[in-house]
Amino acid sequence: MVSRVVSSWGNVIRAPHVVYGLHSRHDSFPILPNAGTVLPFGNGRSYGDSCLNVGGALLQTRSLDRFIHFDRDTGVLACEAGVLLADILRLAVPEGWFLPVVPGTCYITVGGGIANDVHGKNHHRAGTFGCHVRQFELLRSDGTRLKCSPTENPEWFAATVGGLGLTGVVTWVEVQLRPVSGPRLDVESIRFANLDEFFSRCDELERDFEYTVAWIDCLGRGKRLGRGILQCANHAPQQAASGPAVGRKLSVPFAPPVSLINAVSLRAFNTLHYYRQPRRRRQSCEYFQKFFFPLDRILHWNRLYGPAGFYQYQCVVPASGAREATAELLDTIARSGSGSFLAVLKRFGSVASPGMLSFPREGVTLALDFPNKGAAVERLFQSLDRIVSVAGGALYPAKDGRMPGELFRSGYPRWQEFSHYIDPACSSSFWRRVTEHA
């Protein structure tokens, strides 16, 4: 039992926590003194306070890093919950298997992938991470071990998927991988001039491509509103099987004293990036790391935002009214002059998410980073919150550090049902914040 200062990925919230560790899936839940609470903690890639428990304790799961079995014929893989998606890919890709859903970074734990029911660029085809989890074991603070699957303890399964670690700690997980013939993808980049063009292209591209995502120039206004580049990909067929490319990693060794991402650098970058893509469609064949995890090449890229850190704002607006709501969101952001290189727009499909608190639902999701500039950023967020709320949408807890309680409760109508499954010894800063005045 030691105390350590822990911060989340956004580097905005950092606080001392007592830290416990689990070293094997056979270990018992730690005994907490004085009715304290604990929160399972994976690799800390959540941006806000959903992975923190300020004033309480964290249960580190990174030592739960053993594989249990891998059937190379059927693609069924079981491992402890602290295994990183990167480790799974390193093992599975040379054998012709891939994770069916990967988010924007492969440096998350399998437990974290379940706790946030993460989604990827292929949501319109494959749904969320939780859709491909066959079963897992949930360890509760009273020592009970529950085997959970869509058919065994299904309500515990639905509570824990997307359950932000609050139902207990997941010790091991079994997933179904999907076959691939190698590590490469056939990628097409397509420029589009505005939001209308984005929407008109979506149907066709989602039919032809398994992975689709758009980078958006968040500073574009008027008829340039929502201009950007669509990146679409399919796993390349019939490749000679080979391991993933091991590239040299860059690293940001320390946070610069001010954020390197500001109004000037942003406008310059966005313009360059948009025009780098020629008008015609561009095709290439890429290693999967470059397409799925471009930022992972730069370790600690979050430090580029300086010591004040940054917020990520990711929302989803339902399908009906998505076009208008997205346009309004982008216009509001453009007028503020604030924003980031990483403005991402994606359409979610109709595959149902298995968790009670899952974020993805049919509609459109927009994600941006904002340097933490204090009150000005919060005012922008409040305007964006209003648009999301009116549209009947929601914000993504994995990225959030400040959403108001009512927006959480309206965006996740099953939150009260979920609260019955919370382990009495588990709590998080996020949960306390969004249910405070309920």
Partner 1 sequence: MLAERGDALYLVARNQARLAAIAADLSVRGSPRVGSEVLDANDFAAHEPMLARAESFLAGYDTVLIAHGTLSDQKACENSVELTLREINTNGLSVIALLTRIANRLAQRRAGTIAVISSVAGDRGRGSNYVYGSAKALVTAFLSGLRQRLGKCGVNVVTIKPGFVDTPMTAAFDKGLLWAQPERIARGIVRALDRQSGTVYLPGFWRPIMLVIRAIPESLFLRLSL
Binding site for partner 1 (CB under 8 A): 1-4, 21, 23-26, 63, 66-70, 79, 91
Written as one string, the DSSP assignment of 10-27 is TSS-EEEEEEEE--STTS
Q: Whole-angstrom Cα distance, residue 134 to residue 69? A: 14
Long-range pairs, 72-76, Cβ under 8 A, ≥24: 72/97, 75/176, 75/177, 75/178, 75/179, 76/134, 76/174, 76/175, 76/176, 76/177
CA nearest 36: which of 436, 430, 426? Answer: 426
Q: Whole-angstrom Cα distance, residue 97 to residue 344? A: 27
Q: Decide whether 24 or 283 has the Cβ nearer to partner 1.
A: 24
In angstroms, what is the minimal distance from the CB of 80 to partner 1? Answer: 8
In angstroms, what is the minimal distance from the CB of 73 to partner 1? Answer: 14
In angstroms, what is the minimal distance from the CB of 15 to partner 1? Answer: 16
Q: Where does 144-287 have alpha helices with state H?
A: 154-160, 195-208, 263-276
Q: Decide whether 95 or 296 has the Cβ nearer to partner 1.
A: 95
Q: Decide whether 173 or 329 has the Cβ nearer to partner 1.
A: 173
- 432: tokens are 């306390």
Q: Hey, what amino acid is at 191? A: R
Q: Decide whether 54 or 91 has the Cβ nearer to partner 1.
A: 91
In angstroms, what is the minimal distance from the CB of 79 to partner 1? Answer: 8
Written as one string, the DSSP assignment of 288-322 is HHHHH-GGGGEETGGGGG-TT-EEEEEEEEESTTH
| Backbone dihedral region for residue 339 (phi beyond 0: left; psi -120 to 50: alpha; all else: beta) | left
Give the DSSP H/E element, type plus range, for residue 364: strand 363-371
Strand partners for 233: 187, 211
Strand partners for 346: 365
Q: Decide whether 16 or 237 has the Cβ nearer to partner 1.
A: 16
Q: Decide whether 63 or 74 has the Cβ nearer to partner 1.
A: 63
Q: Whole-angstrom Cα distance, residue 124 to residue 405? A: 29
Q: Whole-angstrom Cα distance, residue 182 to residue 404? A: 44
Q: Whole-angstrom Cα distance, residue 399 to residue 313? A: 7
Q: Decide whether 110 or 422 has the Cβ nearer to partner 1.
A: 110
In angstroms, what is the minimal distance from the CB of 65 to partner 1? Answer: 8
In angstroms, what is the minimal distance from the CB of 173 to partner 1? Answer: 14
In angstroms, what is the minimal distance from the CB of 170 to partner 1? Answer: 16
Q: Decide whether 16 or 307 has the Cβ nearer to partner 1.
A: 16
Q: Decide whether 25 or 124 has the Cβ nearer to partner 1.
A: 25
In angstroms, what is the minimal distance from the CB of 83 to partner 1? Answer: 9
Q: Could you tell me which residues come within 8 angstroms of residue 12 by beta carbon, excluding any fewer than 6 positions away?
A: 48, 308, 309, 310, 311, 372, 401
In angstroms, what is the minimal distance from the CB of 64 to partner 1? Answer: 10
